[in-house]
Amino acid sequence: MATSRKATYLFALALVLAVLGIYLPGIRNDLLFDDLRLSDGTIFGEYGNLLQFKQRMLSYGSFVWLQSLFGEGWWKQRFLNIALHLGTVACIYALLKALLTQAKFPQEFEDQTHFEASRTAALQVGVALFALNPVAVYAVGYLVQRSIVMATLFAVLACWLFVRGLQTGRAGWYAGALGSYVLAVLSKEYAVMTAAMAVPLYIYIRRPGWKAIGVVAGGALLVLALAAAAFFGIYGAVLGKVFDPRSAALVQQLETMRPGITAQIYPLSLLNEAALFFAYGLLWFVPNVQWMSVDLRPAFPLGFASWGHLAGALGYVCLLGIAIWMVVRRKDALGLAGLILLFPLLWFATEFATVWVQDPFVLYRSYLWAVAVPGLVAIVLTGFKPKTIYAVGVLIALIFGGLALERNLSLRDEGTAWADAAEKIDTKAPANAVGRSRPFLNLGAYHLEKGSLALAERAFLTADALGDLGGNARFNIGVALQQQKKHAEALQAFSAAQAKGFSGQLLHYHRGESAFALGQFPLAFESFGTALKDAPQGNNTDKKMQVLLLQRHADAGIAAQQYDAAISDFETLLQMSPKHPRLLLGMGMAMVGKGDTQKAVPLFDDLIASAPSAPAYYGRGVALYRAGKLNDGLKDIDEAIKLEPRNAQYRQVREQLAASTKPSNKSKP
């Protein structure tokens, strides 16, 4: 017994070190995609209060509580994810060990002297393959997906506590199971079907009569109904429906391929998800990293005659029926296999609650369903010699661990994650593999932010070719062209984006910038004005954009000879920053353009007195020229040229003024 316990501790230590070897190299990974909820105030501004019921209040609240205890640092949050993963592994081990001891294996297996050691080795290898699985990285290494890790931990713990209650008959175990179930659904609603597992667990452990089964089933249904009612106010509107604008747009794309599909979208989603159940399972057993990324886009069925989807859906229903039959009719290893299969089959039912078009195949969600993997592995390996099991286990663990490390490093930052996702997209897939543009759109945005404009443009062009929604790709192509100073092409891209439905403040702002650069000042003035009208009310970022737009609208107003509008803009800006030299200079130039030199000259005098600069001298020189003081004006412009000798505009205007004998006959500079 002591030797066995020591071996278990050594196994646990080795497994912990292996898990740390996978995840510690990524402890400083950047936030990724959905992780941005952690930095935009969505989580830290709305969670942390246990008295305020909302979805995922426990898992999201844990970010707030950990930071309040240990301070800021995403690496600290990642450590908690790793700890939760190890806790989940421990709970799976405890649950499966309890279930395996109940199973009757073939007599020739049980008669072997190494049977118990074989069963333990098989369980340990199975659990290790879950702990080191590359697919698990998408739950553990993707920081905000802590919700599914916590839900899995508490769901498995609830099942183990329930099994202990069945084995001992003590009420405390049942109370603990119910409490763990509550924690699971408060971590993530995907664990809601854990209550349904009470029935097959009860049947497998106790082998009761139908009356007793009915009582337990009634209790499980009551708990399930209470949990569903609690979440109905939050999720009721999405049941059986398309629940977000992007999904609605993707459905419209499918509608163009097969008119009338919108009316059938929910049953087709059921068909699709049922088929994808087997795709998830395949990845956990055969973790080919070439099939994995943060954004996978399988084809959505266009009808009920899609044989692949139909076969998958029928397979799901048949497997569910077979698993139930095995639990009810068998007490042996096959009965245990049926019980273990019911974990993912029942938990997966949440996938049928709504229409999945936007994110139909997301790897982090499968972390919960993969609890079955170590159990099935343990059943298959039990009976082999322990040395053989461990040898095979070590080999597979090394492979899995290496692949998992590679997956974790692929999530290092937005660039690596989206480059990996874009690489895995089949650009030649059928058109009903909708949504394939998103990895390229996000990859392009990353390159654009880093200044890799050619790479950004290439990614955006691919996104556009793959049916990007709403003109996002075309707009970003325009921004990339704008930063390359290809303003005429940028304007064409902005027009194309608008034609595809893109709108909003940023479109008009960037159009204004390119129009201004091309000297199309009326268009620039109009675009900046439209952007101002579209300005959202909100945070400091919006306020900064509002200030920028007022400045650019005023600049375009001067260039387009809309002087009153420019003066009004500068007055608004000067109320915010009364002494800002750039604003005072702009106000002075607008006044000069309007012909109000009496007000303009004192402004320039004050600017030159406080902070002499070439633009201030130039502005005063032009103002003095307009006021009829030609020589004084020329002197100021000469001073501006002295301060900025490379400014061609100053020299050109100076030549115009010097050649003029009647300033009133000259065009306004």
CA–CA gap between residue 3 and residue 22 (Å, rounded): 29
CA angle 65–66–67, rounded 5-degree value: 90
Q: Name which of 613, 503, 509 is nearest 552 in CA terms.
A: 509
Claim to verify: residue 566 and residue 627 sit in the same structural domain: no
Claim to verify: residue 563 and residue 633 sit in the same structural domain: no
Claim to verify: residue 185 and residue 210 sit in the same structural domain: yes
Claim to verify: residue 640 and residue 531 sit in the same structural domain: no
- 326's enclosing H/E stretch is helix 307-329
Predicted structure pTM score: 0.88
CA–CA gap between residue 118 and residue 504 (Å, rounded): 65
Task: Judge whether 635 lies within some domain.
Answer: yes
Q: How far is CA 183 from CA 56, 333, 416, 560, in A?
A: 10, 31, 34, 63
Task: Judge whether 498 lies within some domain.
Answer: no
CA–CA gap between residue 60 and residue 186 (Å, rounded): 10
Claim to verify: residue 388 and residue 335 sit in the same structural domain: yes
What integer pLDDT is reported at residue 44 of this predicted model? 92
CATH of the domain at 561: 1.25.40
Q: Name which of 368, 391, 383 is nearest 103 in CA terms.
A: 383
CA–CA gap between residue 521 and residue 134 (Å, rounded): 55
Task: Judge whether 432 lies within some domain.
Answer: no
Which residue among 550, 578, 606 closes a domain?
A: 578
CATH of the domain at 620: 1.25.40.10
Are the beta carbons of 513 and 552 closer than 8 angstroms? Answer: yes
Task: Judge whether 532 lies within some domain.
Answer: yes
> What is the 3 state secondary structure string of 85-136?
HHHHHHHHHHHHHHHHCCCECCHHHHCCCCHHHHHHHHHHHHHHHHHCCHHH
Q: Tally the C-alpha atoms within 13 A of residue 228's C-alpha that lie toward its C-beta.
A: 14
Tens digit of pLDDT for each residue in 34-85?
Answer: 898 999 888 999 999 988 899 999 999 999 999 999 999 999 999 999 999 9
Claim to verify: residue 562 and residue 633 sit in the same structural domain: no
Task: Judge whether 202 lies within some domain.
Answer: yes
For the chain, helix, strand, coil in percent to 5 are 75, 0, 25
Which residue among 410, 427, 444 closes a domain?
A: 410
Claim to verify: residue 267 and residue 183 sit in the same structural domain: yes
Task: Transcribe 370-420 into DSSP letters.
Answer: TTHHHHHHHHHHBTB-HHHHHHHHHHHHHHHHHHHHHHHHHTSSHHHHHHH
What are the helix and strand counts (H, E) for the chain? 31, 0
332 secondary structure, DSSP code: B
Q: Name which of 191, 172, 170 is nearest 182 in CA terms.
A: 191
What integer pLDDT is reported at residue 627 of this predicted model? 86
What integer pLDDT is reported at residue 663 of this predicted model? 46
Claim to verify: residue 527 and residue 622 sit in the same structural domain: no
**Residue 382, beta-bridge partner list:** 384
**At residue 285, what is the residue type?**
F
CA–CA gap between residue 255 and residue 624 (Å, rounded): 67
Which residue among 521, 548, 578 closes a domain?
A: 578
> What is the 3 state secondary structure string of 141-197?
CCHHHHHHHHHHHHHHHHHHHHHHHHHHCCHHHHHHHHHHHHHHHHHCHHHHHHHHH
Q: How far is CA 340 from CA 136, 280, 343, in A?
A: 19, 16, 6
Specify the number of domains making up the chain.
Answer: 3
Task: Judge whether 66 lies within some domain.
Answer: yes
User: Using CB atoms within 10 A of its CB, is residue 32 exposed (0-12), middle (13-18) or buried (19+)?
Assistant: buried
> What would you report as the CA-atom Rg of the chain, rounded to the nearest whole angstrom?
33
Going 20 to 22 to 26 to 31, the CA torsion angle's sign is: negative
Task: Judge whether 665 lies within some domain.
Answer: yes
561 alpha carbon, distance to own chain's centre = 46
- State which residues of the chain have pLDDT below 70: 1-3, 536-541, 661-669
CA–CA gap between residue 544 and residue 564 (Å, rounded): 23
Collapsing DSSP to helix, strand or coil, 104 comes out as strand
Claim to verify: residue 138 and residue 194 sit in the same structural domain: yes
Tokens 């607008």, located at residue: 590
Collapsing DSSP to helix, strand or coil, 248 comes out as helix
What angle separates helix 265-285 from helix 333-347, to the nearest 10 degrees?
130
Tell me the residue range of the domain where 640 lies. Answer: 595-669
Task: Judge whether 465 lies within some domain.
Answer: no
CA–CA gap between residue 122 and residue 384 (Å, rounded): 8
Token duo for residue 235: 């999720």
- Number of other residues whose CB lies within 10 A of the CB of residue 43: 21
CA–CA gap between residue 450 and residue 456 (Å, rounded): 9
363 secondary structure, DSSP code: G
Claim to verify: residue 157 and residue 68 sit in the same structural domain: yes
Claim to verify: residue 43 and residue 148 sit in the same structural domain: yes
Claim to verify: residue 58 and residue 207 sit in the same structural domain: yes
What integer pLDDT is reported at residue 3 of this predicted model? 54
